[in-house]
Structure 1
Amino acid sequence: MSNDIRHNWTREEIYDIYNMPLLELVFRAAELHRKYNDTAEVQVCTLLSIKTGGCSEDCAYCPQAARYSTGVDVQALMKKDEVLAYAQKAKDAGSTRFCMGAAWREVRDNRDFDRVLDMVKGVNEMGMEVCCTLGMLTEDQAKKLADAGLYAYNHNLDTSKEHYGEIITTRTYEDRLNTLDNVRKAGVTVCCGGIIGLGETHEDRIGMLHTLATMPEHPESVPINSLVAIKGTPLENNTKVDVWDMVRMIATARILMPKTMVRLSAGRTEMSISDQALCFMAGANSIFAGDKLLTTPNPSFDEDNQMFQLLGLQPRKAFKEESKQYLRDMVEA
C-alpha cells in the first residue's frame, strides 16, 4: 500500500494540513489528485427527491423537517415510471450516477421500501450507478438494497461528533456510524461527507475529516456541501461560507483520502466558474448536476456542460472501478 493511503491520521496532522498556506495546500492536493485520479474526469451525479418533506428529524439545516415552516410541500413516494423517466433524462444529459433521496428518519420494512427496491433495480438496469439516501438502515435492509443492485448509499456525518448535538438531537452520531457499518457489511460503497457553514469551528471541520479519514475503509465518495440557508430553518440567518473555506476543505480531504471521489455538492449556485475551477484543481472530481438537490437550487445541466467545455473536463464513465478490476482479472487469468 502506498504511504499516501493512510487510515491512522491524527487530528494534529490534519490540523497542520488544513492550516497550510492556501496555495501550498492546493498544490499538494493537486499533486496527489493527479497521481491517483484522471484530473480531466469529473463524475456527474443527479439527485432526485423521490419522497419529499414531512420528516420527523430536527436537522437544523433541512427544509424537509416537518417541525419547520419552510414552504416545502409534503409529497408521497413517487411512482417508479416517473423516477425512471427522470433517470433517463439525467443519463441523456451526461449523468452516470443517479441518487434517490427520501425524507425518512429510517427505512421501514413496508410496501414503500419494496417500491424503492424496484426503483433501484430499474435504474441499475439502465446502466447507471444507483445511489440512495433514505435515512438509517439495518443490516438486512442494506443487504436487500445490495441485492436489488444498489451501488452506493449516502449517509452524511454532517459535522464533527462534538458539534453534532447542536445540529441534530433526534438521532446520535453513533446511529450514523452504525448505518455506515451496515452499508459496508452489505458490500455497498459508502458516500459520506458533511456540510460547512453550520456554525461549526475550524476544529469541528478537522474533526469531521478525521472521522472520515480514519475509517477502516475510506468512503468511496465524500460530498463537501456549503450550507444553503433556508428561511424557516433554525440556521436561516447563518452567513454564507467563503469559497476559500470550500477550497481548503476539498484540498484537505483530497490529501487525506487520495483515491476518494470528493464531491463539490450543495452551494454551487453561489459559486462562479472560477471558484469551481479552483475546487477542481484542489481535488474535487465529482458534482451533482440538475436543477435541484432534493429541494435546493442547483446549476442546470446546460450550465455545467458549458463549464466542462471551458475547463476541458469530461464526465467519468459509470462503473469505472469495476471495469478496471475486470481488466486486471482478465490479465491475471
Structure 2
Amino acid sequence: MTIRNNWTREEIAAIYNKPVLDLMYEAATVHRQYHQAGEVQVCTLLSVKTGGCPEDCAYCPQAARYNTGVTAHKLMEVGEVLQKAVEAREAGSTRFCMGAAWREVRDNRDFDKVIEMVKGVNTLGLEVCCTLGMLSPEQAQKLKDAGLYAYNHNLDTSENFYDDIITTRTYQDRLDTLENVRKANISVCSGGIIGMGEGEEDRIGMLHTLATLPQHPESVPVNALVPVEGTPLEDQPKVSVWEMVRMIATARIIMPHAMVRLSAGRVRMNLEEQALCFMAGANSIFAGDKLLTTPNPGYIKDQEMFQMLQLRPRQAYKEQLV
C-alpha cells in the first residue's frame, strides 16, 4: 500500500461508510502492515498552566468566559513538572505532553520556563511534547532546539463546521501553526473531536484535511467529546463506540504510518469498547487520571486492560531505533 496525500473526500467517505466489520477488517490489515499488533504507546498529558484562556472553544472547560468550576492556575514550576514526568515514566509512559491554556505562545518569561521544562523532560528519555496554542516559526525553532520531539495542535473539526465551535481564531491559523511545526522538523500531532454536533461530512472533511497535508501527522488523536457543565456543548449526547471505530479505522487506512491515538472520552468506554478501537487501528492512549482537566481512566485500570488484552507498551523514539 502506497502512502497517499491526494485522497478525495469521496474516497474517504466510501471508506468511512463501509459496513463496519469490513471497515475494521481492512483497518486491522493495514495496521499490521505498518505497526506491530498489540503494541500501544502510553502517553501522559499534564496541564502545566490551567484555565483563564481567552478563546471561546465551545467544548473547553478552560475558557475564561465559561463558568465550569475550573480554577485558573499560573504556570507550574520547572521542578514540579519534572517530578510529574518522572512519575509518568515510572508508571509506563514513554511520551510526556505539557499543555498550557494559552491562545498563543508569547515571547516572555513563561515561554522561557517552558523551554527549561522541555530540556528537562528530554533528559529523562521521554518523547517530549507540548500543546501551547499558536506558534510562530521562530518559537517552533526554539522549542526544537530545546529538544521538543512533538507538538500537538488539533484541527478539532472540519473547516465548514469550525466557526460553529470557535470564533476567536481561524482554521487557517491552525494550519499555519502545523506548517510552522513541520518546518522546524518537529513531529506533528493533530486530530480532532467528534460528538460536538457535527455531521458525518464534517468528520470526513477533517480526516480529508489531515490526510492531504504535504506530510501526514505522525500522531492523530481521535477524541470523543466529554461534555462539561457550563460550556455550550454541555448537553451533547454521548458518541457511540461505532462512531469512534469508524473514525479510527478510516484514519488508520488513509494515514497508515500515523499513531492513531484513542484520546478523550475513554473514561466513558468499557474494556470491550476500547478493545474494538484497538482492533480498528488505535495504537496509542493517554494514561493518568486526567487529560488536562477532564477525567481519564487511572494507571491501575489501564494496566489491568493491558494485561487482559495482552497489549505491550511501545518504547520511546521507536521509529528512530529501527
TM-score range, shorter chain: over 0.9
Taking the aligned partners of 2:223 and 2:239, their CA distance within structure 1 comes to 10
| Per-residue deviation, 1:307 | 0.4
In the alignment, does 2:249 pair up with 1:239?
A: no
Counterpart mapping for 1:41-60 below 5 A: 41-60=39-58
d(CA) in 1 for partners of 2:298, 2:69: 22
Q: Deviations for 1:100-135, whole angstroms, at most 9, x for unmatched residues?
A: 000000000000000000000000000000000000
- Alpha-carbon distance in 2 for matches of 1:7, 1:30: 21
Q: How does 1:219-298 map to 2 (within 5 A)?
A: 219-298=217-296
Give the SS at the match of 2:42. Answer: strand
The SS at the match of 1:223 is: strand
Aligned counterparts of 2:80 and 2:139: Cα–Cα separation in 1: 24
The Cα offsets for residues 284-325 of structure 1, whole Å up to 9 and x where unpaired, read as 00000001000000001111011001111011000001111x
Cα distance in 2 for partners of 1:164, 1:92 equals 39
CA shift for structure 1 position 259: 0.9
Residue aligned with 2:260, SS: strand
- Give the Cα–Cα distance (whole angstroms) in 2 for the partners of residues 90 and 299 of structure 1: 14
Q: Distance in 2 between matches of 1:275 and 1:243?
A: 6
SS across alignment from 1:62: coil
- Structure 1 residue runs of 4 or more that deviate by more than 6 Å after TM superposition: none
- 2:141 alignment partner in structure 1: 143
- By how many angstroms is 1:56 displaced? 0.3
Once the 2 structures are TM-superposed, how far is the Cα of residue 59 of structure 1 from its aligned partner? 0.1
Equivalent residue number for residue 303 of structure 2: 305
> Which residue of structure 2 lines up, in the alignment, with residue 210 of structure 1?
208
50, 62, 71: which is aligned to 1:64?
62
CA distance in 1 between partners of 2:82 and 2:312 (Å): 24
C-alpha displacement of 1:196? 0.1
Query: Where do residues 158-177 of structure 1 align in structure 2 (5 Å cutoff)?
Result: 158-177=156-175
Task: Compute the TM-score of the two structures, normalised by the length of structure 2.
Answer: 1.00
Q: How many residues align?
A: 322
SS where residue 148 of structure 2 aligns? Answer: coil
2:309 partner amino acid: L
**Identical aligned pairs, as a percentage?**
70
Q: Distance in 2 between matches of 1:309 and 1:95?
A: 16
Q: Given the alignment, which residue of 19, 22, 42 partners 2:20?
A: 22
What TM-score comes out, normalization by structure 1 length?
0.96
- How far is 1:39 from its partner? 1.1
Aligned to 1:318, which of 298, 316, 319? 316
Deviation at 1:238, TM superposition (A): 0.6
Corresponding residue for residue 329 of structure 1: none
